[in-house]
A and B are shown apart, each in its own frame.
Chain A
Amino acid sequence: MSVTVAERERAHVQTHSPHGAAEPSYAQRLRNNRLGLWLFVFSELFLFGGLLMSRFYLWRDPATDDIIRPELDQLLGLFSTTILLLSSVSMALAEAAASRGDRKILNAGLLITAILGIVFLGIVVGLEWQGEVSPGDGAFGAVFFGMTGLHAIHVLSGVILLLIILYNSLRGKFTTERHWGVEATAIYWHFVDVAWVFFYPALYLIGRAVHLG
């Protein structure tokens, strides 16, 4: 009596799984997790993309239809952008360290990324939000606080994720082969950086500066 491959696999699954259902391997779960996270990132693109479009639609001179912007401190924008890009570099180094099993650089990278994220939040909330534009400044206020506010919420949630991952790393939860938590946090953090890569020129550089008040 011959046994087919499918029957052998079914028998193997029933032997190794308490409910008779196939347990996906770590590699399979990793692929599913990646796909799920990238679909989430894709959905976020619409949110940030919509805000970016609203900036170019609403910040226009009604008389000439020129693209305009409020007169913001461009050097402050450059500084906050540099901080966020540096945080992406430290996050990438941390993820690379996780792949190599270099726990010292992993922990240092995660800590530095979290600190740079907090510094970025401090610049946005403490300096940029206290600048020339206020929430009551019509389209300027609505778009500026909408874009920077939504982005800041994402940075804040990223910092919380980083601290959770750092805590887990300090407890030795990640190995060279298994560190999906680090990879997922890195993808999320870099996405927040990508969003700012477009927000920075849109808010600070593009268009004719208009003095408010």
Chain B
Amino acid sequence: MEKESRVNEQNGGGYRQIIIIAVLLAILTVAEYFVAQALPSAIFLLLIALVKAALIVQFFMHVYRLWREESH
């Protein structure tokens, strides 16, 4: 049971990790809004969007499972 739980944690299934990513996404989204008011640079705003997308793809979509041959 402990082993199974550890495997789930490795699979990115940890609740704590999800909450950390959620907080990061919230900070970036609010920062994005205020950056647009103060410094409306397209490149800078698209960079923030790119970081947000990378966080989602890595930690929510688990893209690494494609080449690690993991179970769920």
Write the residues of chain A forming the contact surface with B, with a CB cutoff of 8 angstroms.
27, 30-31, 34-35, 38, 56, 67, 74, 78, 81-82, 85-86, 88-89, 91-93, 95-96, 98-100, 176-180, 183, 186-187, 190-191, 193-194, 197-198, 200-201, 204-208
- B residues near A (Cβ < 8 Å) are 4-5, 8, 11-15, 18-19, 21-22, 25-26, 29, 32-33, 36, 40, 42, 45-46, 48-49, 52-53, 56-57, 59-63, 65-66, 69, 71-72
Looking across the interface, which residue of chain B has its beta carbon closest to that of A75?
A: B33
Among the listed A27, A30, A34, A96, which residue makes an inter-chain contact with B13, where contact means beta carbons less than 8 Å apart? A96
- Counted as pairs of residues, one from A and one from B, with CB atoms less than 8 Å apart, the total is 106
Q: Which residue of A lies closest to B18 (CB)?
A: A92
A-B contact pairs, 20 of them (CB 8 A): A31-B69, A34-B66, A35-B66, A74-B33, A81-B29, A82-B29, A85-B22, A89-B18, A190-B56, A190-B57, A193-B56, A193-B60, A197-B53, A200-B32, A201-B32, A201-B36, A205-B32, A205-B33, A206-B36, A206-B40
Contact among B5, B12, B52 with A100 in the assembled complex (CB-CB below 8 Å): B5
Report yes or no: A201 in contact with B46, Cβ–Cβ below 8 A: yes
Q: A85 and B26: CB pair below 8 A?
A: yes
CA distance A85 to B60 in the complex (A): 11
Contact status A201-B45, CB under 8 Å: yes
